[in-house]
């Protein structure tokens, strides 16, 4: 079986403090979550500097995989998409 690319799909997360509330508003849109609760969750992200660790972990995984592909002389593009 041959492949023409790899696609990593992830939930996504905020990349900085200014992204936290817009990220949560997008994720919670239409779910009738009280704003107070959304602000509580935003505080959890602020404990990590407003950054979701999943994005950095995905970047590290993709970098490691690209390196492995290079050592194996594989020419296979890697794409990454987030739901949010």
* Tens-place pLDDT, residues 7-46: 999 999 999 999 999 999 999 999 999 999 999 999 999 9
**Does the residue 30 lie in any domain?**
yes
Q: Give me the domain span that covers residue 75.
A: 6-82
**Does the residue 69 lie in any domain?**
yes
**Does the residue 57 lie in any domain?**
yes
Give me the phi and psi of 78, to 5 degrees please.
Answer: -120, 125
Q: Confirm if 9 and 83 have CB atoms less than 8 A apart.
A: yes
pLDDT at residue 1 is higher than 90: no
**Does the residue 51 lie in any domain?**
yes
Q: Give the chain's domain count.
A: 1
**Does the residue 48 lie in any domain?**
yes
**Does the residue 75 lie in any domain?**
yes
**Could you tell me the pTM of the whole model?**
0.81
pLDDT at residue 3 is higher than 90: no
**Does the residue 1 lie in any domain?**
no
**Does the residue 54 lie in any domain?**
yes
């Amino acid at each position: 079986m041959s492949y023409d690319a790899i696609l990593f799909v992830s939930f996504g997360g905020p990349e900085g403090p200014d992204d936290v509330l817009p990220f949560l508003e997008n994720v919670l849109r239409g779910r009738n979550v009280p704003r107070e609760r959304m602000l509580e969750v935003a505080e959890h992200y602020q404990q990590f500097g407003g950054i979701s660790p999943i994005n950095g972990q995905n970047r590290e995984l993709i970098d490691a995989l690209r390196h492995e592909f290079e050592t194996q002389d594989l020419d296979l593009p890697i794409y990454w998409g987030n739901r949010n």
